[in-house]
Structure 1
Amino acid sequence: MAPKSRSILFLLLSILLVSSINEAGATFFGIWRPINDLKDQVVEQIAKFAVTEHNKEAKTSLEFITVVQGETKLVSGTNYRLVISAKDRGAAQPKNYTAVVWSRPWIKFQQLLTFDEVKV
């Protein structure tokens, strides 16, 4: 490998390493981290997307209520693992569901990976 190519590779790897370090100095690439603001607009949009996609795939009619709990993990994009409160039309009480959504906002990509009812 030519010296110039090695320099570019080293620079790119350094940028990747630095970008995977938070302000406390701990790396968090590939580790689930709690979401502090569950009312954040992006978090709610991801949760609503999960409910909408689940409704399409499962032919259900769940209505989004709120995000109960959430975590993110940096991958090639961001995975959101959310506990979502949603109510089926006609049901007396909402239920909680765990959804995992893979998001890559720079290419406007979202994919619902899992959506399961939380069993109590």
Structure 2
Amino acid sequence: MRFQSLVLFLLVLSVSLAKNQAISVSYNPIKDINDPYVIEIARFAVTAYNKRAGAKLEFKTVIKGESKNVIKTYYRLNLSANNGSISNDYEAVVVDVPFNHHRHLISFKSLHS
């Protein structure tokens, strides 16, 4: 009976920990979208998109942003960029791994499709 109780306790504990971890990995608003590091991530997103798509967007500003930490930091940024004389808004998702100096653009899409 003790063994069964222990197994049940460990199962409940595992489910509880998994649920708490899932909650903690949601995106949280970035308080200072003008932080130089956030701007650097946004500029990286535009540059990476330009290379990928053969575009010539020029970064303008970050409109809003969210981030989440799961070993790596994921940034979801709404930003404004100029395409020649036309300004458009985009959503970029970037994964940032500062300890090994690695960044990767996950997605980049127009918010006015």
Q: TM-score, normalised by structure 2?
A: 0.77
Matches within 5 A, 1:1-120: 29-89=24-84, 91=85, 93-119=86-112
CA distance in 1, matches of 2:72, 2:62: 21
8 Å CA contact retained: 2:88, 2:112? no
Between the aligned partners of 1:119 and 1:88, the Cα distance in structure 2 is 14
Cα distance in 2, alignment partners of residues 73 and 29 from structure 1: 8
Code of the aligned partner of 1:47? A
Conserved? CA contact 1:99–1:113, under 8 Å: yes
| CA deviation after TM superposition for structure 1 residue 28, in Å | 6.4
Superposed displacement of residue 29, structure 1: 3.3
TM-score by length of 1: 0.73
Give structure 1 regions of 4+ aligned residues with deviation exceeding 2 angstroms.
none
Give a deviation string over 1:29-71, Cα, whole Å, max 9, x none: 3110000101101000000000000000000000000000100
Cα deviation, residue 80, structure 1: 0.2
Q: Which residue of structure 1 lines up, in the alignment, with residue 5 of structure 2?
A: none
> In proportion to residue count, which structure has more helix?
2
Please state whether the residue corresponding to 2:51 is helix, strand or coil.
Answer: helix
Structure of larger gyration radius: 2
Count of matched residue pairs: 94
Aligned alpha-carbon RMSD (Å): 1.9
Amino acid at match of 2:59: F
Query: Aligned partners of 1:83 and 1:39: how far apart in 2?
Result: 13
CA offsets, 1:73-96, max 9 Å, x none? 11221000000100012x3x3100
> 1:87, 1:45 → 2: CA distance?
17
Over the matched positions of the two proteins, sequence identity in percent amounts to: 40
